[in-house]
Amino acid sequence: MNIPDKKQPEKQPEEQPEKQQEINEVTPSPSPLERAGVRLQEDFPILQREVYGKPLVYLDNAATTQKPRQVVQSIVDGYYSANANVHRGVHFLSQQATELHEGAREAVRKFINARSSAEVIFTRGTTESINLLAHSYGEEFMKKGDEIIVSDMEHHSNIVPWQLLEARKGTAIKVIPTNSRGELLTGVYKGLFTKRTKLVSLTHVSNVLGTVNPVEEMIRIAHAHGVPVLLDGAQAAPHLGVDVQALDADFYAFSSHKMYGPTGIGVLYGKEQWLERLPPYQGGGEMIRSVSFKGTVFNELPFKFEAGTPDYIGTTAFAVALEYITGLGMENIARREHELTAYAMQRLSAIEGMRIYGAAEQRTGVISFLLGDIHPFDVGTLLDKLGIAVRTGHHCAQPLMRRLCIEGTVRVSLAFYNTREEIDVLADALERIRKMF
Ligand code: PMP
């Protein structure tokens, strides 16, 4: 695919010192990433393209993020010069591919501050990570009548696997409600525990409301009842970073493609003492130590949970993505996105007829809204024609939509490479759409 002409770059400070000084006086910007905004977009070739003859404004980062050059290059280099199946080969290429793949596991371990790389299981994504745990933990530790606590702001990926377990085993799901600000009712949560509670499975950050849940406190409460906790970190890991030891999470799931890495790679982190006790999820190559028709001895961690040839090209590229974002600094990313979110909230909430869903104290750059009586699909389609990519619909969170008494929203989701100018383009477009209706 040809990449169309570049967008007009934003003005660099050195090009217009007076103008820049003026801007800084009005909106002081301490973030080094904000000042480096242009360079960041240049690292992402797709952000230079146009759609319908308009510069692309990509605001669908909660669905998936764009990939920096280095990540794409890693995939190309992998297939051009380092492709061989991992772990089993004595030859040079296989050993090189294995080193890269296991190096990627170590990069993930470092990123999430796990104690050991044996605690890092590669999967296809958050969804597969949760399904793995639902099967494996459900098989070993849950029986008829046992309970799992989730919240009403979960993505379907953290609901349906537990419903499948319910159908298989007769377990039950209990739900933590949210208040009108989109915050979990922790008081109600405390009252949901019984002797039958076997697991809490919670989203760290809502993919609809942007709410950052008070997971440290919720984990402490669960542990006081002797109950382990799985966090769905799909929307948290890319924006806040993760320290699984500081959180004291027992399990943590996330996806590479939402973290500027390739699709088809995800991680399930699990504390070693839990993973040792869990049975394998799938059988096949890689996850065994020895096989005979009398029986199979399983491999050690983490390979026990990784049946079949892994996507070693993908894991290597994921490590490159992690290197890229840690190079920028997770704190800088969080600060930059916080500034952009505050600006977007200010611009959007000034639009007549705007209803923003979610007003949590702690939030990320996910903003869901409805504009007057206009159907979200119409808003999304009109924005698209102006080159602005947003998501519309239920965002795989139908129970939350029901709780909010709506069918869907328009969702804008920001990444560090977005700019204030792009938010201005969005806000102006929404004003135009409002007037049209
Ligand atoms: N959980 C949350 C909170 C999400 O936002 C998503 C992706 N929209 C998922 C789970 C599923 O992630 P994946 O499709 O990468 O498995």
Of residues 296, 396, 399, 403, which has the active-site annotation? 396
- Look up residue 74 and give its amino acid: S
Backbone angles phi and psi of 333, in degrees to 5: -60, -45
Q: Whose CA is nearest to atom 8 of ligand 1?
A: 63
Fold classified for 70-326: Aspartate Aminotransferase; domain 2 (3.40.640)
Q: What is the whole-number distance in angstroms between the Cα of residue 47 and the centre of ligand 1?
A: 23
Q: Is residue 207 lining ligand 1, measured as CB closer than 6 Å?
A: yes
Probe ligand 1: pick from 211, 235, 257, 411, max atoms within 8 Å of CB?
A: 235
Across the chain, how many H-helices and E-strands are there? 17, 17
Q: What are the sequence ranges of the domains in the chain? A: 31-60+329-436, 70-326
* Cα–Cα distance measured from residue 108 to residue 97, given in angstroms and rounded to the nearest whole number: 17
Query: With b meaning 16 or more CB within 10 Å and e meaning fewer, what string describes 393-426?
Result: bbbbbebbbebbeeebbbbbbbbbbbbbebbebb
The SS3 assignment for 123 reads strand
pLDDT of residue 342: 97
pLDDT of residue 237: 98
The SS3 assignment for 386 reads coil
Q: What is the whole-number distance in angstroms between the Cα of residue 246 and the centre of ligand 1?
A: 23
Q: Identify the segments of the chain with pLDDT beneath 50.
A: 1-30
Q: What is the whole-number distance in angstroms between the Cα of residue 391 and the centre of ligand 1?
A: 14
Probe ligand 1: pick from 255, 259, 260, 268, max atoms within 8 Å of CB?
A: 255
Q: Which of 361, 333, 138 is nearest to 251 (CA)?
A: 138
* Cα–Cα distance measured from residue 205 to residue 231, given in angstroms and rounded to the nearest whole number: 9
* Cα–Cα distance measured from residue 320 to residue 78, given in angstroms and rounded to the nearest whole number: 12
Q: Is 396 a catalytic residue?
A: yes
Spatial contact of 103 and 319, defined as CB atoms under 8 Å apart: yes
Q: Is residue 391 lining ligand 1, measured as CB closer than 6 Å?
A: no
Q: Is residue 61 lining ligand 1, measured as CB closer than 6 Å?
A: no
Q: Which atom of ligand 1 is nearest to the CA of 63?
A: 8
Supply 200's token pair.
């809490």
Segment (H or E) for 1: none
Crossing angle of the two packed helices 330-349 and 420-436, in degrees rounded to 10: 30
CA triplet 139, 278, 263: central angle to 5 degrees? Answer: 95
Burial of 3 (0-12, 13-18, 19+ CB in 10 A): exposed
Q: Is residue 234 lining ligand 1, measured as CB closer than 6 Å?
A: yes
The model carries a pTM of 0.93
Q: What is the whole-number distance in angstroms between the Cα of residue 62 and the centre of ligand 1?
A: 8
pLDDT of residue 33: 65
Q: Is residue 232 lining ligand 1, measured as CB closer than 6 Å?
A: yes
pLDDT of residue 2: 37
Q: What is the whole-number distance in angstroms between the Cα of residue 30 and the centre of ligand 1?
A: 32
CA triplet 390, 394, 400: central angle to 5 degrees? Answer: 125
* Cα–Cα distance measured from residue 291 to residue 149, given in angstroms and rounded to the nearest whole number: 38
* Cα–Cα distance measured from residue 141 to residue 396, given in angstroms and rounded to the nearest whole number: 28
Q: Which of 217, 212, 262, 261 is nearest to 232 (CA)?
A: 212
Q: Which atom of ligand 1 is nearest to the CA of 128?
A: 16
User: What is the β-pairing status of strands 354-357 and 366-371?
Assistant: antiparallel
Q: Which atom of ligand 1 is nearest to the CA of 125?
A: 16
Q: What is the whole-number distance in angstroms between the Cα of residue 270 and the centre of ligand 1?
A: 18
Q: Whose CA is nearest to atom 4 of ligand 1?
A: 234
Task: Tell me which CATH homologous superfamily contains domain 31-60+329-436.
Answer: Aspartate Aminotransferase, domain 1 (3.90.1150.10)
Per residue in 102-126, pLDDT tens? 999 999 999 999 999 999 999 999 9
pLDDT of residue 40: 84
